[in-house]
Amino acid sequence: MIGTGDRVLLVGEGREFFVKAGPGTLSTDKGQLDLASLIGASAGDVLTTHNGSKFAVRIPRPTDFFTYGKRSGAPMLPKDIGLVIAYTGMNHNDDVLDAGTGSGIAAIYFGGVAKSVKTYEVRPEFSALAQKNITDAKLGNVEAIAADFLAAEGLYDVVHLDMQIQPEHVTHAYSLLRSGGYLACYTPFLEQMAIVVDAASGLFCEVHPHELIEREMTRSKRGTRPSTSVCHSGYVTIARK
C-alpha cells in the first residue's frame, strides 16, 4: 500500500508521470490529480483526473528508475548491468560492493537482487543524489557511502567497479572478495579494459573481458531488419577469485 513520499508511476492516455504520493497536485494536459489521493492506493488502482481522464497506478520497477531517476551523468546501460548480474550469478544470498555509484542506477538494480549492497562514491554530491534515487526505490538493503573505494573494508561475494580504474582498485577488489566471488569492471575505453585485464591476470583465477553489442530489430510492413542505431557502451571484464 502506497504511503506518503512513495514514488508512483501514473500511466494512461498515452502518457506516464513519475510522481510522489502526498501533498501537491499533478497538472497535465489531461486534467489535474490530487497526489494525496495516492496514499493508501495499490498497484493497478485507477485514478481519475478532475476532467475524467484515467491513470493506472504502478509501483516503479528498476527499469523505471533507469528512465526517471535523477542523473549525475550517463549511467551504465541495463544490458551491461544484466551482463554483470548474469556473469557473476548475483543472487539473494550475496553481499555486493559497488563503487563509482554515479546516479545509483546499477546499485538499484543490484539492490533488487542481492542481500545487501554498499555503494561507494568519492564525490559527495553524486552520492547524495544517488541516495535520493535509492530511497525512492525503497531499497533498505542498499547503503550509499561517500568515500573512496580504496577505503572499503569487509567481505563480499561480488565487487562491481565503474570508475576511472587503476591497478590498485583491482588489487583492492581481490582483497574484499570471498573465495569463488566475482569482480566485474565496467570500462568505456579499451585502454581501461587493458588495465583491468593486466592487473587481474595472475591474481584472479579466471579473467574474461566482454563486449556486448545490442541491436534492436525493427519490423514494419516493408519487412524485418536490424535498427541502424546499435548499442555499444563499453567493456565488462569479469574475474573470479
Among residues 61, 124, 151, 175, which is the contact residue for a copy of itself, using CB under 8 A?
61
C-alpha distances in Å from residue 216, one per residue of 48, 149, 208: 35, 35, 25
Least Å distance between CB 5 and a copy of itself? 18
Return the number of other C-beta atoms located less than 10 Å from residue 49's C-beta: 19
Q: In whole angstroms, how far apart are CA 21 and each of 131, 164, 174, 203?
A: 19, 38, 43, 49
Q: Pick the closer one to a copy of itself by CB: 147 or 240.
A: 240
**What is the b/e burial string over 58-82, where b = at least 16 CB atoms within 10 angstroms of the residue's CB?**
bebebebbbebbeebeebbbbebbe
Q: Which of 3, 5, 89, 167 binds a copy of itself (CB under 8 A)?
A: 89
Which of 31, 41, 112, 123 touches a copy of itself (CB under 8 A)? 112
Interface with a copy of itself in residues 192-211 (CB under 8 A): 192-194, 197-198, 205, 208-211
Q: Residue 54, interface with a copy of itself (CB under 8 A)?
A: no
15 scored as a contact of a copy of itself (CB under 8 A): no
1 forms part of the interface with a copy of itself (CB under 8 A): no
232 binds a copy of itself, rule: CB under 8 A: yes
What mask, x for binding a copy of itself by CB under 8 A, covers residues 156 to 175?
-x------------------
Size of the residue set binding a copy of itself (CB under 8 A)? 69
Cell of 33: 490529480
Q: Exposed, middle or buried: residue 92 (CB in 10 Å: 0-12, 13-18, 19+)? A: exposed
Of 92, 140, 153, 154, the one binding a copy of itself by CB under 8 A: 92
Minimum CB distance to a copy of itself smaller for 36 or for 231? 231
198: closest CA among 171, 176, 178?
Answer: 171
42 forms part of the interface with a copy of itself (CB under 8 A):
no
Distance CA(184)–CA(102), nearest Å, equals 16
- HSE toward the beta carbon, residue 62, CA cutoff 13 A: 18
Sign of the dihedral defined by the CA atoms of residues 69, 15, 61, 76, in that order: negative
**Strands 31-34 and 7-12, bridge-based pairing:** unpaired
Q: Which positions touch a copy of itself (CB under 8 A)?
A: 9, 11, 43-44, 56, 58-59, 61-64, 66, 78-79, 81-93, 109, 112-113, 157, 178-180, 182, 188-194, 197-198, 205, 208-217, 219, 222-226, 228-235
